[in-house]
Structure 1
Amino acid sequence: MLFRTIKNTTTMLTVVAICLVCTAVLVFSIEEYESLYLESTLGDLDGLSENMASDLVSLMATDPDTFEITTTLLRLDRYENVKYAVVFDQHWQQLNVYFGSTFTPQNFELDIQLETLKHLPLGVEVREGELIALKLVGDARLPLGYLLIVNDSLGPLKNSKLTLLKRVLPLVLLVLFIAILGSFLIQRQLFLPLSRLSRLAQKIQKTHDYSLRIDIRGKQEVAELSRDINSMMETINTETQKNSEYTEQLKEQQKTMERLANFDGLTGLPNRQFFMETLRIELAKAKRDNRNLVLMYFDLDGFKGVNDAFGHEIGDLLLMEVCLRTKAFLREGDLISRLGGDEFLVLLHNDPNDIMLFEISERLVHGLSKPFEIQSWEVQIGVSIGIARASDSNFNVSEFISNADIAMYRSKDAGRSTHTVFVPDMMEDNKRRLLIANSISGAIKHNEFSVHYQAKVAPDESVVGYEALIRWKSESLGMVSPAEFIPIAEQSGKILSITKWVIKKVCQELDQILAMHTGKMVVSLNLSAHDIKNASLVDYIRAMFDKYRVDTSHIEFEVTESAYLENFDVANEFLKQIRDMGCSIALDDFGAGYSSLGYLTQIHLNTLKIDKQFVDNLNVSKRSTLVTKTIIEMAKQLNLQICAEGVETREQAEFLILNGCHQLQGYLFAKPMNLQDLLKR
């Protein structure tokens, strides 16, 4: 039991050694001599260690300089009594060791255990036949490390005690030899498991294999330490596996975040951010290599109508199908991106020539115009494509995309479902469009707009109403056609301001118009698709009627067939409020848009206006003539008033009157006139 623990074993050996030394000292009566010797030696060692500790401060203030520390320790060569010196850092980790000339460092182990050393008081003391100096390097509030110097306390006495020692030298040498040998063998045996632990730690450090374990054997403390280390390694191994799994999850999440940041969540196509960055890089390469790039900008014609008619879920599925179909029409290397909504960009690979560019565009136009089968619904759309070359924009990203956008809107103006290549002349048209858009607000403010009234006549050519038409005479632009500025106003979001201005103007002039006639008179005002989606316009109309005391039975609002059906539910709600005020409703341009006759049974109208294209082809095209007759007959059956617009010949008028048309409108009877000219008639 006594030698079961390292602590007991080391302690007993130390006690036995001290007893032997003390006995020898007592026997040979050298206490007084040793006392004087130690007092002198302690003073010298204290001064030496204090000076060296001070010198080490500058060497350990930052990163310890091993070379300089070694140089400082070599100053101990002048002191033959120094056995060894050790420099520790503030965590008691060994930094450097010095061995005196009389000390053999083989299998060097500290005479004092590290834990015991940590609890020694700072200063100089005699311990187990050695002079031990332990000094703090640095300030007590901010220690940098510790200096340990061990002196041989018996060396200086050798000469004076030589005679005395000769008498007992054989016995002393034998005892010392046995003690040293026994201590060495015992310590070696005791610390062997610790060496194994050290080698295991080094192996783990090199291999990072935390599944390694150590055999549990040795003294009690070592066995317990081995078990604790194995338990710790088990915990580390488990946590490492968890961390590896967590790291893999983080990598997957990072990939997902990158995908969300660079790709469209619905279609999986590169998004605007990714495409713009790629485009910048490709433009820089093309400019450097003196190559050209071709960009397509297209959006879907009629997509909004699909959303309104079938819902956004069908719209999303349609976008996904459009992407799949578009990819099939493009070449390998072409990059397609969803810009947003129903707008797409395509960067064409290797600058295709005009023939190839035409073929790709035709494939897209015809391919995307074919019906899509979406959840048993047959959905049909079109596509308008704008094409631009990088050289026309001087390889500038913004201008490059803007040029393609301009060409795309030119395709829409040309009737949609077509493709247009940008040419520099289009910039002038675009500048004019921008100038018109920017001038609208000023035109309203400076009263540049005017209302012209075109008469509607009965079959006997008596005036039964007027259509209010807006005209613009700009100080800077001259006369601007409604066909030019109305679409621009719709695209720039300024159509509502124009509509409000016309409504207010008609309300102001209505009494003068009514005073010209004795019979029933109705003035028609046009509403755009943008107007009927703005609920606040109803409140504005009501406010104008109240302000100018308008008899609403004299007011009719015209909505185009396409505007009505593209926003069917919204239009129904909007026009219901208009009807509730007492106004009548006319469906304008009937036959030019959807011609979905089924809708006529679901909407409440007063008047059906036949589009001018049918009137133009009367007695010219049998098909158009037959369709016109059918429209008139259908309107009669629905008890609707029928108004034909664009009547310019007597033959057209006679045909329409003969087939039962109630109202006629066109240059044959009257051109649009302002109020002043109208009053002069």
Structure 2
Amino acid sequence: MIFKTIRSTLTAFNSLAIASLCAAVLSFAIFQHEELYSEAVTSNLDGLSNNMAEDLFTILGASNIDKLEVTKALLELTEYENVDFAIVVDKDFKEIEFHAGKPLQEIGRPNLSVDTEQLRELEIGMSTSKGQLYAKKLIGEVAFPLGYLLIANDLQNPLDRSKIALMKNVLPLTIIVIGIGIALSLWLNSKMLLPFQKLARLAHQIKQTNDYSIDIKVHGKQEVTDLSNEMSSMMDTIHDEEIKNKHYTQQLMQQRKDMERLANFDSLTGLPNRQFFMETLRKSLSQAEGENDDMVLMYFDLDGFKGVNDTHGHEVGDKLLIEASKRTQRFLRHGDLIARLGGDEFLILLYNDPNDFVVTDIAERIIKEISKPFYISDWEILISVSIGIARATDAKYNLSDFVSNADVAMYKSKVEGKNKHTIFIPAMMEDNRRRLIIANSIVSGLRNNEFQVYYQPKVNADEQIVGFEALLRWSSDELGLVSPDEFIMIAEQSGKINQITEWLLKEVMFNYASILEHFGEDTVIALNLSAHDLKNAKILELITSLYARHMINPKCIEFEVTESTYLENFDMANAFFENIRTLGSSIALDDFGTGYSSLSYLTQIQLNTLKIDKQFVDNLGISKRSTLVTKTVIEMAKQLNLNICAEGVETRQQMDFLVAHGCHQLQGYLFGKPTDLPTLLAVPYKKESKRVLPFMR
């Protein structure tokens, strides 16, 4: 009886101990799983919010905040299913943009309001409250905040689901273990108690070491062996879950590193990108100002890169950017920083107050190296580089002024012929200010009829008028007379040249009938097009509609494009002018010989007229080289059956030479200056003779 009582007591005790042990192991596993999960989610949200705050820094730092860009940045959270919401506020905690995550969308609360006062009180960093994980991040610097980002992530519900999944996997095994333990307790004896003690020690070891990979192998009777195997299986399950969590955490960390690299480095060249460079420059300027030190900034882009893209394709253009960046890096000193600003624009930051000799030497080495031929995809490509140089002291350590000064100097290099470097001086700012005023005044000038079309006559060898070239003049109410050489370039750079061309087309087509009525129906009017016009599909549509509206004979309209514009956009120009020829109009190549050694191209393009540039005409009889080139061009054009027109004819000697060598048309001050339409039509004109009018001279 006593034996039965002891056996029953031992059985009950052992059964309770086994159940308690299994429950303890299960509880510890769940607790450990919960801790690992929380750490992984917190780390992920911390990295995600940091990256988004850095992205939003660039957007909020702009003079005008683009809410669409903020929305696009927040839409990246759509793929994170446990993000409840995110909100971006300015430095005064006024809401800029709110993003509702999938949980709010599913419960029908996409417009949940957030108490900005509570947001203000919330500490920066990571925090939890009522099953929610919050990441509040500062956008900008502590001294100069631009705003704040708050991301709320549902922590409790996903954790509960994860624990339930774990329970589903582990609980059956636990029940089996308890059942076997109860069965084994019926056969409890001193020999069987030893394996249980060993199991207890192993469980204790697992708890102390958190090592679920420990192999549980306890030998004894069949029940003990089964219990050992079941517990080992349960440990394997827990160990597998632990490995999965660690792998998930590693993936999150790698994703964070990848996102940081994408945020800070250019994917094509591997150089630091604009965001990283500007942030580094901001810190460096602050340090240099504190130490009364100076730095130099080089701003440069590749001359002719757009033509490479248009002619050879973007793949060749990308390879060219990579090779150009590699060549440039060879001449930088240790510690200097180069970054790709975007497109074909680059920035170089030279530290440690380099003297003018060092700066000039680096710039000239870069120019010389970039000017060497690039051999890419079986193509020999020639480009150049224009460099602008500025010092931090001239900008008074202001980041925006520092970059702007270098940009202005670079523009000066381009205006003065490219393939050179220019050091910024304060006087350039006035030129830049005028450039901005001109760019901003073009649209209003068109709207207020400040532009006017002037017509310069073209004559044949007998000085009879055969046509006119339509030329733009701009008399601005604010700026006075603005030279076409000045405002055309600015219009192209500011993206407003298409508006000018459209205005010119409409004005010339409107004047068409009056000119032909006065000078004869075979008079040809020539209009100039820019490279931007060749890319504008609306231009061709406009020309077609104007021809129909004003009943224009297309043969009386000729379109001129410069040699450099044609060849830098070769395929596009060919396609555009093929459509123009289909309409019935003619094509003229202007400024021939000034941009390229391109005689071979004349056999590949379809032209009607070749215009000899004024610089060759000016040197006729003075420069043997110009005289020989002019003769060669005329003879070649005659062999290709092209109409030949010489520009800038100002003397009888020039006229006699050109006519004697077979030039078909002449244009210049000798025959007439550009004249406005009322003056052009004011004096009676004999259509039979078509002689140049006296007032034109």
Query: What is the TM-score with the length of structure 1 in the denominator?
Result: 0.71
> C-alpha distance in 2, partners of 1:597/1:651?
27
Give the Cα–Cα distance (whole angstroms) in 1 for the partners of residues 339 and 223 of structure 2: 69
Give the equivalent residue in structure 1 for 2:232.
Answer: 230
Q: Percent same amino acid among aligned pairs?
A: 61
CA spacing shift, 1:190–1:632, aligned 2, 3 Å: same
Equivalent position to 1:199, from 192, 198, 201: 201
2 CA distance for matches of 1:257 and 1:447?
Answer: 52
Query: Contact 1:4–1:220 at 8 Å: present in 2 too?
Result: no
Match of 1:467 in 2: 469
The aligned residue for residue 10 of structure 2 is: 10
Change (3 A) 1:3 1:370: farther
Partner letter of residue 480 of structure 1?
V
1:551 aligns with 2:562: no
Distance 2:388 2:551 in 1: 50
1:212 matches 2:214: yes
Q: Deviations over 1:30-73 (max 9, x none)?
A: xxxxxxxxxxxxxxxxxxxxxxxxxxxxxxxxxxxxxxxxxxxx
What is the aligned partner in structure 1 of residue 608 from structure 2? 606
Answering whether residue 484 of structure 2 is matched by residue 482 of structure 1, we say yes
CA distance, structure 2, for counterparts of residue 451 and residue 12 of structure 1: 110
Q: C-alpha distance in 1, partners of 2:526/2:5?
A: 112
Q: Distance in 2 between matches of 1:620 and 1:509?
A: 40
In structure 2, C-alpha distance between the alignment counterparts of 1:260 and 1:366, rounded to whole Å: 32
Instruction: Report 1:172-191 matches (<5 A).
Output: none
**Corresponding residue of 2:378:** 376
1:534 partnered with 2:536: yes
Deviates more, 1:633-642 or 1:505-514: 505-514
Which residue identity is paired with 1:216? V
3-state SS of the aligned residue for 1:402? helix
How big is the shift at 1:245? 4.8
Mapped partners of 1:412, 1:491: distance in 2: 12
Q: Distance in 2 between matches of 1:261 and 1:202?
A: 47
C-alpha displacement of 1:352: 1.1
1:223 Cα deviation from its structure 2 partner: 5.0
Once residues 270 and 571 of structure 1 are traced to their aligned partners in structure 2, the CA distance between those partners, rounded to angstroms, is 36
Structure 1 pair 266–320 and aligned structure 2 pair: CA distance change class (3 A): same
CA distance in 2, matches of 1:6, 1:232: 31
For residues 314-356 of structure 1, give each alpha carbon's deviation from its aligned partner in whole angstroms, at most 9, with x where no partner exists: 1111111111111112111111111111111111122211110
Kindly tell me: are residues 413 and 11 of structure 1, through their superposed partners in 2, closer, same or farther at Cα, counting changes over 3 Å? Answer: closer
Q: Aligned-pair distance for 1:249?
A: 4.5
Consecutive unaligned residues of structure 2, counting only runs of 5 or more, are: 15-177, 179-187, 684-694
Contact 1:606 1:640 in 2 (8 A): yes
Check conservation: 1:5, 1:221, Cα contact below 8 A. no
Determine helix, strand or coil for the equivalent of 1:516.
helix
Segment drifting more, 411-420 vs 224-233:
224-233
**1:341 aligns to 2:343 (yes or no):** yes
- 1:431 is matched with 433
SS of 1:336 mapped into structure 2: strand
| Larger displacement relative to structure 2 (358-367 or 571-580) | 571-580
Q: Is the 8 A contact 2:563 2:591 kept in 1?
A: yes
Q: Aligned-pair distance for 1:637?
A: 0.6
2:333 aligned counterpart, secondary structure: coil
1:324 alignment partner in structure 2: 326
Is the Cα contact below 8 Å between 1:4 and 1:219 reproduced in 2? no
Q: How far off its partner does 1:419 sit?
A: 0.8
Q: Distance in 2 between matches of 1:437 and 1:191?
A: 94
Deviates most, 190-199 or 530-539: 190-199
Give the superposed CA RMSD: 2.7
* Alignment partners' CA distance in 2, 1:432 and 1:290: 33
Offset of residue 602 of structure 1: 2.2
State the Cα deviation string for residues 253-308 of structure 1 (Å, max 9, x = none). 43333222221111111112211221222122222222222111111111111122
Q: Distance in 2 between matches of 1:486 and 1:3?
A: 112
Contiguous gaps of at least 5 residues in structure 1 = 15-114, 116-185
Alpha-carbon deviation of 1:221?
A: 6.2
Secondary structure of 1:511's aligned partner: helix
Query: Shift in Å at residue 5 of structure 1?
Result: 13
Task: List aligned pairs for 1:395-410, cutoff 5 A.
Answer: 395-410=397-412
1:525 aligns with 527
Q: Return the match for 1:622 from 620, 624, 642.
A: 624
Report the alpha carbon displacement of residue 523 of structure 1 after superposing the two structures with TM. 1.2
Instruction: Give the CA deviation at 1:633.
Output: 0.3
Q: CA deviation at 1:393?
A: 2.5
Q: Distance in 1 between matches of 2:4 and 2:535?
A: 95
Q: Amino acid of the residue matched to residue 607 of structure 1?
A: T
Determine if contact 2:612/2:646 at 8 Å carries over to the other structure. Answer: yes
* Cα distance, 1:10–1:661 mapped onto 2, change above 3 Å: same
Amino acid at match of 2:462: D
Q: Distance in 1 between matches of 2:224 and 2:528?
A: 98
SS at match of 1:387: strand
What do the CA deviations read for 1:460-494 (whole angstroms, capped 9, x no partner)? 22221111100011111111111111111111111
Partner of 2:564: helix, strand, or coil? Answer: helix
Structure with higher Rg: it is: 1
**Whole-angstrom distance in 2 between the partners of 1:428 and 1:13:** 96
SS at match of 2:300: strand
Q: Residue 201 of structure 1: CA displacement?
A: 2.9
In 1, Cα distance between equivalents of 2:11 and 2:543: 107
Letter of the structure 2 residue corresponding to residue 568 of structure 1? F
3-state SS of paired residue (1:625): helix
Residues 214 and 637 (structure 1), Cα distance of their counterparts in 2 relative to 1, 3 Å cut: closer
Return the alpha-carbon distance in structure 1 between the equivalents of residues 610 and 342 of structure 2: 37
Instruction: Classify the secondary structure of the residue corresponding to 1:269.
Output: coil
Output the CA distance in 1 between the equivalents of 2:382 and 2:458: 37
CA distance in 2: counterparts of 1:250 and 1:552, whole angstroms: 65
Contact 2:439 2:494 in 1 (8 A): yes
Please point out which of 561, 573, 576 is paired with 2:575.
573
Q: CA deviation at 1:444?
A: 0.8
* 3-state SS, counterpart of residue 329 of structure 1: coil
In 2 relative to 1, CA 10–564 (structure 1 residues): closer, same or farther, beyond 3 Å?
same
SS across alignment from 1:391: coil
Name which of 489, 501, 504 aligns with 2:503: 501
Separation in structure 2 between the aligned mates of residue 12 and residue 227 of structure 1, nearest angstrom? 23
| 1:677 aligned partner | 679
Is the Cα–Cα contact under 8 Å of residues 647 and 667 in structure 1 kept in the other structure?
A: yes
Instruction: Provide the C-alpha distance between the structure 2 equivalents of 1:545 and 1:673, rounded to a whole number of angstroms.
Output: 24
In structure 2, C-alpha distance between the alignment counterparts of 1:237 and 1:5, rounded to whole Å:
40
8 Å CA contact 2:458, 2:465 repeated in 1: yes
Tell me the TM-score normalised to structure 2 length.
Answer: 0.69
In the aligned structure 2, how far is the partner of 1:597 from the partner of 1:222?
97
The question of whether the paired residues in 2 share the 8 Å contact of 1:296 and 1:385 is answered with yes
Distance in 1, Cα, partners of 2:396 & 2:472: 41
Q: In the TM superposition, what is the alpha-carbon distance from 1:250 to its structure 2 partner? A: 4.3
User: Retained in 2: the 8 A contact 1:5–1:220?
Assistant: no
Query: Structure 1 pair 356/246, CA: closer, same or farther in 2 (3 Å)?
Result: same
- Aligned counterparts of 1:465 and 1:593: Cα–Cα separation in 2: 26
Distance in 2 separating the partners of 1:645 and 1:4: 126
Q: Report the CA distance between 1:645 and its aligned residue.
A: 0.3
Task: Write out per-residue CA displacement over residues 134-192 of structure 1, whole angstroms, 9 at most, x where no aligned residue.
Answer: xxxxxxxxxxxxxxxxxxxxxxxxxxxxxxxxxxxxxxxxxxxxxxxxxxxx9998765
* Residues 611 and 645, structure 1, Cα contact 8 Å, conserved in 2: yes
**What is the alpha-carbon distance in structure 2 between the residues aligned to residue 4 and residue 529 of structure 1?**
106
1:645 and 1:226, CA in 2 relative to 1: closer, same or farther beyond 3 A? same
Q: 1:446 aligns with which of 442, 445, 448?
A: 448
AA matched with 2:422? T
Aligned to 1:360: 362
Q: Which stretch of the first structure deviates more once superposed, 2-11 or 289-298?
A: 2-11
d(CA) in 1 for partners of 2:292, 2:505: 57
Question: What CA distance in whole angstroms lies between the structure 2 residues aligned with 1:13 and 1:284?
Answer: 73
Q: With a CA cutoff of 8 Å and minimum separation of 6, indicate the structure with the bigger relative contact order.
A: 2
Corresponding residue for 1:300? 302
Q: Which moved more, 1:293-302 or 1:517-526?
A: 517-526
- Cα deviations across residues 430-449 of structure 1 (Å, max 9, x unaligned)? 11111111111111111011
- For 1:404-431, what per-residue CA distance to the aligned partner results, in whole angstroms no more than 9, with x for missing partners? 1111111110101111112222111111
Match for 1:577: what amino acid? N
- Which residue identity lines up with residue 336 of structure 1 in the other structure? I
Q: Is the 8 A contact 1:301 1:381 kept in 2?
A: yes
